[in-house]
Structure formats: structure tokens, C-alpha cells
Chain A
Amino acid sequence: MARRPANKPAEIAPPKWQSVATPLLILHLFCLALAVLSNGGGGVSRVGYALRKIPLAPAYLKLLAMDLGYDFELGGAEPQNAAHHLEVARPGETAPVALLPADDVRWRIRRQRYQQLAFHVAQFDDVFSENSDLQTMTPLAIADAWLRDLDLPPQRYVLRCRRVSAPRWAAAPEEERERSPTANEAGAGQTAQGDQPADGDEAIEIDLVWNRYEQRYEGARRRPAALTAKAIGDAAPAADAATAEGADVGDAATDAEEVAP
């Protein structure tokens, strides 16, 4: 029996501009791979670091807004997955004077853009934790314009960036987990409390002060309570030692005064 010839796809005559298009296509696909490798997974690839030194490639990707890893998260339990918003309040008050996005912003994409803005305030707060100028640059610019739009009297305020996370599931019942030889549901965030909303990290707070000479708000980031408590804890023995030393110095000075005519 004669063998049936395998179906061979027809040869395609490429267009005349193929000799220009092919190298450009290869370059573009290489740049796309560079973007994915150097940005994906938090941008920690050693190969990615090296590839970003290739001249013009990062600039080309940024120009086309393609300098991304495309590893979009639909949902997660990390603080960055929470819903972010900004609020401004008077010092000492918990209830906010205004929210951003405001409740009357019904257009979903507008709300999401304001939430993205609040997310970046939180992200830059973390990224620029060693540089207070950069840390407060964005929230101060937002607060300046926002408070002016709200027509609030220029005085002290507190700007807060809050995140509200999704409630977590409780861990699966013991008898179900026993069926799996490798079950380990002591994962981050899963508690026995059931679906309690987790507010994530404490709010980022920036104290705003009106500079009447420059007609703008200035501000400083309040230190997180945990760091302040730690600082107080570390400072307490040092303060005790300084007090004791001061007493000795004071006694010596008194003695000196008594000695001097």
C-alpha cells in the first residue's frame, strides 16, 4: 500500500519588507521578554538586572508603556491587595472630614484611579522609608490640592492612608485536613476567628501644617506606633542612666559652687 504523503503546509512568499520587519520583530519580542524577566515576580531576576543595561531597550519599553511584568494579581492576602483610600481629619479626631475617593464618586473607573493613587501613597511610604522628603512628597501634593478644592480653612490636619483587606477564611476543620498527608493550613492570615475583616497595617498618618508664608501645606510622617514604642522601650534604660548621670553632674556642680568663692 502506497504511503500517503504527509500534508505539507504551503510555502508562503513573504512580503518585500520582510527583511526589515523580521529583525524589528525579533528586537521587539526580545524587549518584551526583557520586560517580563526584569519586572516579573517583583523584579528580582539577576538576568533581568543585567538585561536592563542594554541601551535603549528600557527606554523603548517605557515609551510604549510596556515596561511591566504583566503578573497582575486578581486577588491576594497581602497589604498591597487591600482596598486603599485617603482621608483627612482634624488632629485628635478619628472621624474624617473628607474621604478620597469621596462617596459621591460613582463612576467605577474614577474610584479605582483614586484607589490606585492611595495605593501608591502607601507604596512610596514603604519604598522611600529612608527618605522623608520623597516619602511625603506625593501625599503633601495631594493634600495641598485636595484641601484647597474642599475649601477647608487652612489649619492643622492629619492625612491618613488606610487599607481595608478582604476577610479571610477560617482554617478547614481538623477532620478534613487529616485526610491530606501534607495539609498545612497555618498559612499567613488564616485564623480560627472566621471571616473577620483584617484592617492590615496601621494607617499611614501625616501631620499637615499650613505654611502661611509659602501658602501651602507642609508635613511630616508620624512614626508607626510600633517603632515609637520600641524607641521608648530602648530609650527608657538610657534615660534612667542619663538621669543618674545628671544627678551626679548636678551634685558636682553644686559642690563646685560651694567651693568657688
Chain B
Amino acid sequence: MIAAVQRYFADLNAAVGAAWNRFWYAPAAAAPLGLVRAATGALAFYAVASYGPDLIHWFDAQGMLPVSTVRELYPDQYSLLDYVSGSGLWAVFAAALVATGALALGVGGRIAAVAALVLTLSFFHRAPLLTGEFEAVLAFLLAYQCLGRGGDAFSLAAWWRTKQGKPPAPPAASNRVALRLIQVHIAVVHAMMAVAMFAAPGGVWFSGEGLWLAAATPGASLIDVTSWSEHTKIIALASHAVTAYFVAFPWLAWNSRVRPLLLAVAAGVWVVLAILTGSPTFCLAMAAGMAAFTPAAWLTSPAADGDAS
């Protein structure tokens, strides 16, 4: 009996260890990570560039958000922008554009990734009062890019490698680690957004009114929805479909057979949400993260395949 129990735990330990190694360390092609890298770099470039017109208004010593005020409210956050003002702000701004541009183009490898992370987070930490869901998702996408070799695909470096007649970079375990972390984090975001829908005061997502409230908030939707208020059943159906998607994604995304269908549904859902919520940057950031679930076989030739599943 004792021997059987010991054998059970030994087998369990071996099985869990093998599954852990397969999940986290099976070498993966760089293509899915490269796709995420290019999208993340582009979004980070856009996020930083959008601070430009208001850089002095917000962050200068005489600006709306003086360092002393922000640090009184957020004492445990650090930013390079805390230490500069005036022309120093523009210097950091320019450096951030260069770093995020290099990340988007796939130049500079992990050095560019780390620089883009530090400089972009400096803008977010300098004024948390200005950040929202987009910055929250972009932050972890940037962080995980520092772990893998995302520059080996969909990059200037990869293009140059091909031009020189060299074979594509081989699959790497570090790519798998980065992809899995992105996948886990995206699944967590979906799960928690589903929780928020169920917990919404007044049961607005249960009644189907949730999507209407998102779209009808003044200045939100990219299209005019005022005439939609009479079609409550159609909007409620769409709301329930969105809720079902957020509930299903964290569970079904790990099944390689269902994943392509789920990604197709996800594309539709996030396009609709981008239009109705008026937050296209947040939806694009989520789409960039979900690119981590794309099978590498869809993006590469068979020789370089190391499936994302």
C-alpha cells in the first residue's frame, strides 16, 4: 500500500515535471514572438509619441502634474522623467521614440527591448493619473519581450539574415518562455474581465445592457449609436456573446484544435469592441498579445517550425 502511494507520487512528480518542461521550455520558433514584438513596438512608439503634444503641459516643473504632487499620490513608482524638466524631457522623449522604434523594427535585440521597456514605463510611472487599460496591457507585453529572441523574425535583422543567404534562426526555449508568459497573462486579463462583467453593479451585463453602456457613454463610440437604443434585444444578444467570449477564452485558448476558431472569433470581438468602446489602442494591444497564440506553422516555412501550441 505504502509502496503504491510512493509510486503514485513519484509518477505524478515525473509527469508534472515533464509537462512543465514541455509547456515552458520546448523550443519555439521566433515567428509568433516576432509578430508580437513588431506590434508591441509599434504600439509603444505610438503611446510615447502621443505624449509629445502635452509633454511640457503635463511634466514640466510648472506643468499640471508636478513631481511632488504625483509622488505624494504614488510614492512607490519611479521614472526617469522625475529627474528632468524642460529640454531634458525632450531628450528622454526622443530616446524613448528611438528605443520603441528599434523594437518595432527588430533592431538591437534584447538591448532595444529593455531600453523600450524602461523608457516607456518611465512615461507611465511619471503620471499614473493619465494611464488606463492600454498602458496596463502594453507594460507586460514590453516586459516579456525582454526574455525571448523576438528580433529573429519579422524584423530588419531577419530580413538581413535572409539576404545574406543564412538559414532562419533556430527555435529557442527562451522564445517559448516569453510566449507562454504572454499567453498566461492574456488569459488572466480575459478571465478577470469576465469576472468584472459578472460582478458589475446592477447586473448590466446580465441584462445585456453592458455593451450599450460602453457604446453610449458620451464621446466613446467611433460611430453614432443613438438610433440603436430601440434595438435592445439585438444589443443584449451581442452583449451576451461578448461575455461568453471572455468566459470561454481562458479555457479554450490552450486547446490546439479549437484555438484557430477562437482566434477568428477574437478578431471579430475586438474589432467590434474597438469601434463601440472607442478604445482602439487597448483592443490593438490585446490583439497583439493574442498573436502569441498564433501557431508558428501559419507564419513560417516548415523547416523553422516550433509550434506555439
Residues of A within 8 A of B (CB): 9, 11-15, 18, 21-22, 25, 28-29, 32, 36, 40-41, 58-59, 62-66, 68-78, 81-83, 107-113, 115-117, 120, 124, 134, 137-138, 141-142, 144-146, 148-149, 164-169, 172, 185, 187-190, 195, 197
Q: Which of A15, A36, A76, A190 contacts B192 (CB 8 A)?
A: A36
Taking CB as reference atom, which chain A residue is nearest B222? A108
Please state if B215 and A12 are interface contacts (CB–CB under 8 Å). no
Q: Contact: A65 with B217, CB < 8 Å?
A: no
Shortest CB distance B143–A (Å): 5
A25-B181, A82-B217 provided; 8 other pairs, C-beta below 8 A?
A: A9-B18, A15-B25, A18-B21, A62-B76, A83-B218, A110-B50, A116-B132, A169-B232
Tally of contact residues, B, Cβ under 8 A? 80
Q: How far is the CA of A146 from the CA of B64 in the complex (A)?
A: 7
Q: Does B139 contact A (CB under 8 A)?
A: yes
Across-interface contacts of A188 in B (CB, < 8 A)? 201-202
Q: A76-B213, A111-B219 are in contact. Are A41 and B135 (CB under 8 A)?
A: no
Would you mind naming 29 contact pairs between A and B with Cβ atoms under 8 Å apart? Answer: A12-B26, A14-B25, A14-B173, A15-B25, A18-B21, A21-B177, A28-B181, A65-B124, A65-B139, A70-B136, A71-B199, A72-B193, A74-B277, A78-B201, A81-B213, A82-B217, A83-B218, A108-B280, A109-B46, A109-B47, A117-B64, A138-B73, A142-B65, A149-B57, A166-B212, A166-B217, A168-B213, A187-B207, A189-B202
Contact flags (1/0) for B189-220 with A, using CB distance below 8 Å?
10011011101111110010111111111111
Of all chain B residues, which has the CB nearest A149?
Answer: B57
Q: Check A142 against B64 for contact (C-beta < 8 Å).
A: yes
Q: Choose among B193, B202, B214, B232 the residue with the greatest number of A CB atoms under 10 Å from its CB.
A: B202
User: Could you tell me if B213 and A166 are in contact, using CB atoms closer than 8 angstroms?
Assistant: yes
Residue of A nearest to B235 (CB): A169
Q: Residue B24 at the A interface, CB < 8 A? A: yes
Known: A64-B143, A65-B136, A68-B136. A117 touches B129 (CB 8 A): yes
**Nearest CB in chain B to that of A123: its residue:** B129
**Which single residue of chain A is at the shortest CB-CB distance from B239?**
A75
Q: Which residues of B contact A15 (CB under 8 A)?
A: 25, 173-174
Q: How many A-B residue pairs have CB under 8 A?
A: 199
Contacts of B26 in A (CB 8 A): 12
Write the nearest CB–CB distance from B212 to chain A, whole angstroms.
7
A123 to chain B, nearest CB (A): 9
Q: How many Å lie between the Cα of A104 and that of B169 in the bound state?
A: 48
State the CA gap A113–B133 with chains docked (Å): 11
Whether B192 contacts A69 by the Cβ 8 Å rule is yes
Q: How far is the CA of A29 from the CA of B181 in the complex (A)?
A: 9
Q: How far is the CA of A22 from the CA of B134 in the complex (A)?
A: 29
Contact of A169 among B46, B133, B209, B277 (CB under 8 A): B209
Interface centre among A76, A144, A149, A197 (most CB of B within 10 A): A76
Given contacts A32-B185, A41-B199, A74-B211, contact A167 B25 (CB under 8 A): no
By a CB distance below 8 angstroms, the chain B residues around A148 are 62
Min CB distance B52 to A, Å, is 10
Q: A195 contacts B204, CB within 8 Å?
A: no
Known contacts A65-B121, A83-B220; is A110 also within 8 Å of B196 by CB? no
The answer to whether B162 has its CB under 8 Å from any CB of chain A is no
| Complex Cα spacing A124 to B128, Å | 13
* Interface residues in B133-156 (C-beta closer than 8 Å to A): 133-136, 139-140, 143
A83 to B218 CA separation, bound complex (whole angstroms)? 6
The verdict on A71 contacting B192 (CB below 8 Å), with A134-B72, A164-B218, A187-B203 known, is yes
Please give me the residue from chain A that is nearest to B242 by CB atom: A74
With A65-B121, A66-B139, A83-B220 as given contacts, are A110 and B188 in contact (CB-CB < 8 Å)?
A: no
A74 touches which one: B24, B50, B54, B210 (CB < 8 A)? B210
| Complex A-B, nearest 10 residue pairs according to Cβ-Cβ distance, in ascending order | A75-B214, A65-B139, A75-B213, A166-B216, A71-B196, A70-B192, A120-B129, A145-B64, A71-B192, A113-B130
Instruction: Assess the A72–B188 pair: CB atoms within 8 A.
Output: no
The listed residue (A22, A107, A141, A190) touching B20 by CB distance below 8 A is A22
Nearest A residue to B214, CB-CB: A75
A214 to B131, CA, bound (A): 31
**Residue in chain A with minimal CB distance to B135:** A65
B69 at the interface (CB under 8 A from A): yes
A77 near B173: Cβ-Cβ < 8 Å: no
Residues on B with beta carbons closer than 8 Å to the beta carbon of A69:
192
Complex: A146 Cα to B62 Cα, angstroms: 10
B100: min CB distance to chain A, Å: 15
Residue of B nearest to A63 (CB): B78
The listed residue (A18, A68, A81) touching B25 by CB distance below 8 A is A18
- B188 and A36 contacting across the interface, CB-CB below 8 Å: yes
Docked-complex contact B65 and A12, CB < 8 angstroms? no
| Residue pair A110, B54 in contact (C-beta under 8 Å) | yes
Complex CA–CA separation, A77 to B66 (angstroms): 33
